[in-house]
Amino acid sequence: MPRSLTRAWFARAAPLVAPELLGRILVRRLPDGTVLRARIVETEAYEPADPASHSFKGPTARNASMFGPPGHLYVYLVYGLHHCLNVVTGPPGRGGAVLLRAGEPLVGHDAMAANRGTAREDRLCSGPARLAQALGVDRSLDGIDLLGSGPLRLHAGRPVPRARITVTRRIGVSTGVDTPWRFVETDSRWSLPSPRV
DNA sequence: TCCCCGATTAACT
DNA sequence: GTTAATCGGGGAG
């Protein structure tokens, strides 16, 4: 397993990258220097041919970074108040991405709690908007390189073995297919409840 | 321009 | 189980 994730690793199809992102480590450096770490436990894949994907109708100002280089960050605002984190996948221009839906807090609980406005550990990073809020990420970080030395980075960590990954349909998607493109670490205390089949 | 509604969350009854 | 909060993208007029 590579010590650090390479550009080529991200340049594959989202449904391939998404399960392999489980167990990886998000490293966030806040403007004041505080370092936060969270271990990814839940992801969802989005591809351009998929009506549920923001890239379905082609590039716009909002989703531009989805069509940028792989391994970069795509941040969007939902419902006018919540931000969500994505990792761009596939070759540049494709429009693939993986939504990071939940994480396990590793380092920086206090700062995460302050960002979230709650100290409840099981609600710090469990949910796409909660994760973004805990890490202090908004649209100002949209498009940054996760492989560089920037304010948000992705470390290789330790991937979750296939046998410990549960696959379900995606959450909150109303349009189109109910493709089984959601991946969670089985029985993780830090992920959200899975939809009934 | 106007209007609808979303890859969500928390606080209700 | 239901609903408000709150913004902006994008299709309709």
In the predicted model, is pLDDT for residue A144 greater than 90? yes
Nearest to A19 by CA among A38, A44, A39, A1: A44
Q: What is the pLDDT of residue A39?
A: 98
Percentage of chain A lying above the pLDDT 90 cut: 91
Q: What does the pLDDT look like over A110-134, one tens digit per residue?
A: 999 999 999 999 999 999 999 999 9
Nucleotide nearest to A95 (CA to C1'): B7
Instruction: Identify the burial level of A33 via C-beta atoms within 10 angstroms of its C-beta, where 0-12 means exposed, 13-18 middle and 19 or more buried.
Output: exposed
**Tens of pLDDT along A17-35?**
999 999 999 999 999 999 9
In this predicted structure, what is the pLDDT of residue A176? 66
What pLDDT does A197 receive?
A: 65
A86 touches strand B (CB under 7 A): yes
User: Any idea which nucleotide's C1' is nearest the CA of A130?
Assistant: B9
Which structure tokens are listed for A115?
A: 């960002």
**Contact present, A121 and A134 (Cβ < 8 Å):** no
Neighbours of A117 (CB within 10 A): 7
The domains of chain A, with CATH numbers, are: 7-185 (3.10.300.10)
pLDDT recorded at residue A173? 87
Whether the CB of A66 is less than 7 Å away from nucleic strand B comes out as yes
Strand B: which residues 147-176 of A lie within 7 A (CB)? Answer: 170-175
Name the residue among A94, A88, A85 with its Cα closest to residue A58. Answer: A94
Q: How far apart are CA A62 and CA A55, in angstroms?
A: 10
Residue corresponding to tokens 């531009």: A64
**Cα(A117)–Cα(A102) distance, rounded to whole angstroms?**
17
Q: Which nucleotide's C1' atom has the smallest distance to the CA of A82?
A: B8
Average the pLDDT over A67-96 and give the result: 97
CA dihedral A143, A75, A169, A188 (to 10 degrees): 100
Residue A88 beta carbon within 7 A of nucleic strand B: no
A103: CB within 7 A of chain B nucleic strand: no
Separation in Å: C5 C1' and A88 CA = 29
